[in-house]
Structure 1
Amino acid sequence: MINAQYPGSKRRHWFIFPLLLTMLLLVSACGNNTSRGGNANTKNAAAAPAASEQPEQTVEPAAFTTVTTINGEIKIPVDPKRIVAEEYLGSLIALDTIPVGAPGLTLKNIYFKEALAGVADTGAYGKMSPEKILELEPDLIISGMADSYETLSQIAPTIIVPYGDLKNAHEELTYFGELLGKEQEAKAWLAQYDQRIAEAKAKVNAAIPADATFSILEHNDKKVWAYGDNFGRGGQPVYQALGRKPPAEVEAEIMEKQWAEISAEVLHKYAGDYLIVTDNNQTVQDYKNDPIWGSLPAVKNNHIYVWKEERSWYYDPIAVLSQTEELAAWLTE
């Protein structure tokens, strides 16, 4: 709000006593009228410039813009300074925007956790603590959890972008570049991203046949899941960045819904020529020794890559870029 008060000046006319007397009488009359005039005149008087010997002090108004979201039109700051981000931290960091708070799981992202030193832990992913968020006094909250909107929006303007709505790094960076007024930064980052992805893809294409199929799997406590191209575990790097294809069964049954649990008895139907497996407990040698896994052509040919969830679960643009280069190095070693 702009303070429209300006310093006045005091002029002393000691030699014009009659004029001074006349002015005093006029001021007195005006004062009486103001007293009788009630609230309307009081408001007008308060709005008028006041004499002061202090220098002018102005407070610039906070600039806001309106964005359309799944929850309707939301008014947010044009240049937010205190963002709490439950989701999409990779895109924010790529745009040189560091939040003041984020869930503990996201703060552990090995691909950029150094950039988040000093960022407050807001609690569990999907169940951030309103009390902790309140303490941070955010001016914007970003989340992927639609059911959190009612609670979070009572604290600060809240943008909900459900998981999966943004399909790839380009969509994600472009969206947040526009949201935060950093379109040029987004374009510059994506240009470097595209260059590095193209280099990784060229290396893989030179080493791996174009018709080779890839499966994205997770193995945990005797359960197996297969994944599509937008649910972490390496799907984005393999299917999107490197442009590789899944087996027919994965294409038909998994890609649209993005994930499904499969039984060990039918594992061979979903296993491609190359396997990218998330497993916190077993090694490649363990898979070779397993009677079911060891019978798969990919395992026999040493075309299995095992990594832990701390490397495979994340799917932000920074993680996808690093994962793509990591997998490209393995495929071409």
Structure 2
Amino acid sequence: MSKKFQRFCGGLLAAFALLVIFLPRPVAAADTHAFKAANGTIQVPNHPKRVVAGLYLGQVMALKVNVVGSTKLEMANPYLDQAKLKQMTDVGTPMNAEAVLKLKPDLIITSNESDTKKMEKIAPTVEIPYQKTQQFTASMNYFSKLLNQPKQAKAFTKSFNTAAKKQVKRLEAAKISRKSSFGVYEMQSSKLYAYGSGFSRGAQAMLALGFKLSKPLQKVDSGAGFKEISVESLPKYQAHYMFVTTSSTKGQKDPALVAMKKNPIWQSLAAVKANRVIELPFNKMYYYDPFATRAQLKIVTDALIKANK
């Protein structure tokens, strides 16, 4: 190769290098997106790989996002993938900062200000108040935006709607009117509570099937969402179908629940007389995530059909 040709090639390379330097460089795609949460606008990873999710474990798993840590209570959810749960770490309630730090999360989801203040020092943290995402559709839309998973949300919603339609057909075949009202009630530490539609206990499933809360309970729903009531006031809060749970480990043998059933006021209720009181196990009705609500569609349908035989 001649020296003249070498100088020519060298000049071309130098010119090309200058051209590359001054040409506008392509802008790399952003790897985060802004999400408005209770604790402000947070820059959330577009594709989080290691999520710590306290109260919202089921919501995150429904969108097939990897969770590395949650709480003992949420990990006891019978409707979640048990194999995946075994791979997770209990981060405590309240969340333990040291335990979370060891998991090296790229996103943390909390439900209260106390946890949020500790977690914000570790990784991007999104605070979601409990009553923010209680109904299935709203929940799926919300978490889809948070986790950037519209396809997974659409797929799960499709499976949920298919499950709901199947149970509606069963109700129609059994000639059970979905115009009937319902209510959910729970005995907790000898205190009786009436609930609105946002505290699980099967309420979300009943709404998805087309039933409505009784009018008095609609007022509870639009207020705090739950209310402690007395047995004496039950006639005011009764419904056509009454779903009852107890948080006691003694289940349906809970002394407070047994005593209530013996009370003349309880026995005078229309639902009691017509065998429309439906007692359900607390551990199956407590959760309200997408997996739980989808499973509860069949549970409440089975119970309604049994009550109407």
2:129 is equivalent to residue 162 of structure 1: yes
In structure 2, the partner of 1:96 is 64
Measured in 1, the distance between the counterparts of 2:74 and 2:178 equals 35
- Alpha carbons of 1:62 and 1:155: their partners in 2 closer, same or farther (altered >3 Å)? farther
Post-superposition Cα deviations, 1:186-237, rounded to whole Å, max 9, x if no partner, equal: 1111011111112213322453234422110001343110001111222211
Aligned 8 A contact 2:197 2:213 in 1: no
Question: Mind listing any 5+ residue stretches in structure 2 that lack a counterpart?
Answer: 4-27
C-alpha distance 219-70 of structure 1, shift in aligned 2 (>3 A): closer
**In the alignment, which of 203, 221, 230 is matched to residue 235 of structure 1?**
203
Give secondary structure in 2 for the equivalent of 1:123.
Answer: coil
Tell me which moved more, 281-290 or 321-330. 281-290
Shift of 1:246: 2.6
What amino acid does structure 1 have at the position aligned with 2:90?
Answer: D
Matched, 1:223 2:191: yes
Q: Deviations over 1:17-55 (max 9, x none)?
A: xxxxxxxxxxxxxxxxxxxxxxxxxxxxxxxxxxxxxxx
Is the alpha carbon distance of 1:128 and 1:172 closer, same or farther for their aligned partners in structure 2, counting shifts above 3 Å? Answer: same
- TM-score of the superposition, structure 1-length normalised? 0.75
Post-superposition CA distance 1:115-172 (Å, at most 9, x none): 3121000012xx1111111111111101222342221111110011211222422222
How many Å separate the matches in 1 of 2:245 and 2:139? 24
- The correspondence for 2:96, drawn from 129, 149, 165, is 129
Partner of 1:143: 110
What corresponds to 1:246 in structure 2? 213
CA offset digits 1:64-89 (Å, max 9, x no partner)? 33323233322222221111001222
Give yes or no for the alignment of 1:317 onto 2:285. Answer: no
| Distance apart, 1:62 and its partner CA | 9.1
Correspondence for 2:89: 120
Partner amino acid, structure 1, of 2:186: E
Provide the secondary structure at the position in 1 that maps to 2:131: coil
Aligned to 1:24: none
Q: 2:171 is matched by which residue type in structure 1?
A: V
CA contact (8 A) 1:140 1:157 kept: yes
Judge conservation of contact 1:107–1:113 (CA < 8 Å) in 2: no
2:229 is aligned with 1:262: yes
Which residue of structure 2 lines up, in the alignment, with residue 297 of structure 1?
270
Any idea what SS the aligned residue of 2:165 has?
A: helix
Q: Which amino acid aligns with 2:101?
A: L
Look at both structures and tell me which one has the larger radius of gyration over its CA atoms.
1
In the alignment, structure 1 residue 76 sits paired with structure 2 residue 44: yes
SS in 2 for 1:154: coil
The CA deviation at 1:63 is: 2.8
Quick one: distance in 2 between partners of 1:188 and 1:310? 27
Unaligned runs of 5+ in 1: 1-15, 17-59
CA gap 1:296/1:174 in 2 versus in 1, 3 angstroms? same
Q: Distance in 1 between matches of 2:281 and 2:190?
A: 16
Change (3 A) 1:131 1:65: same
Distance 1:283 1:309, change over 3 A: closer
Q: d(CA) in 1 for partners of 2:232 and 2:218?
A: 19
Q: 1:248 Cα shift?
A: 2.7
Q: Aligned AA for 2:183?
A: S
Structure 1 contact 254–260 (Cα < 8 Å) conserved:
no
Closer/same/farther in 2, CA of residues 198 and 61 from structure 1, 3 Å limit: closer
Structure 2 contact 63–152 (Cα < 8 Å) conserved = yes
CA distance in 1, matches of 2:37, 2:190: 41
Q: Distance in 2 between matches of 1:304 and 1:184?
A: 40
Distance 1:252 1:294, change over 3 A: same
Q: Quick check: which one's helix share is greater?
A: 2
